[in-house]
Structure 1
Amino acid sequence: MHRGTGEKTMIELEPIGVIHSPFTSRGSAPRQGRSCSEPMKIEIYPQFVPGLGTMEGISHIWVLYWMDRAERDILFAKRPDWDEPRPVFTIRSPARPNPIALSIGRIEEIEKGIITVTGLEALDGSPVLDIKPYVVEIDCIFDSLNPFEKK
């Protein structure tokens, strides 16, 4: 909510669950989850389990989670293969003012409030903020530009 120039609004988030991952420290997870075949378990807290329904017909989900071990006080980041740092809002670095991750997980299994997925790059214990179904017709923009494409 915007309240005017220079005024901040406090935002309160309640995690809906936690990610159980084989990756335990910064640098141990893959740079992008899409190439990760390691299964991870998303434990949905009991009060939110009814929100899962059956998830019938859903093969992939967007997982929004908090990168709780990321740096929050930098606005430029650099990968080893880049010549210069880039502004954080133009890249996918975990280091950013609000380290919210957005990853697509492939559902492998759902059982008793635990969603087993592949395709995430989360660290063990990362708080889950939300999950949403991935819908090709809405989420895939075929003519989008690639900011990382070499020119």
Structure 2
Amino acid sequence: MVDPWRAIGVVHTSRRDLERTPVQAGANRAEEGTLEIHEPYVEGLAGLAGFDYAWLLTWLDRPDTPGPPSLTQVPYLLRRTGRRLGIFATRGPRRPNPIGLSLVRILDVTGATIRFAGVDLLDGTPVVDLKPYVARFDRPPGEPACGWFDEVAVPDGVTPADLAGPAAGRPGSV
């Protein structure tokens, strides 16, 4: 049997309310936060300062509604239309395993603290893992199709609260 995951750290941001937290790190590139790595894992930061970006994997521990998530949801970005999609066609927080994925810009690595830009997480979010972004491996060639995301505008800093519409108030995803 595999050991359960362990939080390697915690994110600190100014965000306290899910409805007022930007929907993606890439839509909020300027806002800064910090990641505090727990003591047993600090040695693992050696060499990270040489990277501009990293993938931050988190456990989205504060769902907007109790209970198991629906496998179809109205994404935050489609709230005005009420269009439902399968959870695996979205990037929303209400998932069978609520793992968050944020591409953040590394500003500084000092001791156990990483200062980053690209906040889309609530203060106190547990961190599952951190992996360097490597363009050669992570950026696909050409212009990949992005499904329904290709049909919507995503303004900088947009939050779920900004996207009110017919489906507002319902659990959603990005």
Separation in structure 2 between the aligned mates of residue 132 and residue 123 of structure 1, nearest angstrom:
20
Quick check: 2:49–2:106 contact (8 Å CA) kept in 1?
Answer: no
| 8 Å Cα contact 2:55/2:133 also seen in 1 | yes
Aligned to 2:170: none
Supply the RMSD in Å over aligned alpha carbons.
1.9
Partner of 1:42: 35
Q: Could you say which residue in structure 2 is the equivalent of 1:116? A: 115
Of all paired residues, the percent bearing the same amino acid is 32
Shift in Å at residue 111 of structure 1?
1.1
- 2: distance between equivalents of 1:41 and 1:114? 7
Tell me the equivalent position of 1:28. Answer: 20
The Cα shift of 1:10 comes to: 7.5
- Which segments of 5 or more consecutive residues in structure 2 lack a partner in the other structure? 152-174
Secondary structure of the residue that 1:116 maps to in structure 2? strand
Name which structure has the greater RCO, CA cutoff 8 Å, separation 6+.
2
SS in 2 for 1:48: helix
Residue pair 2:49, 2:108 contacting (<8 A) in 1 also: no
Distance 2:45 2:110 in 1: 11
Supply the AA of the counterpart residue of 1:91.
T
Gapped regions of structure 1 (runs ≥ 5): 1-8
Superposed, which structure 2 residues align to 1:69-84 within 5 Å? Answer: 69-70=62-63, 71=65, 72-78=68-74, 79=76, 80-84=79-83
TM-score (norm 2): 0.76
TM-score normalized by the length of structure 1: 0.87
Residue among 3, 8, 22 paired with 1:16: 8
**1:86 CA displacement:** 0.6
Q: Distance in 2 between matches of 1:34 and 1:73?
A: 25
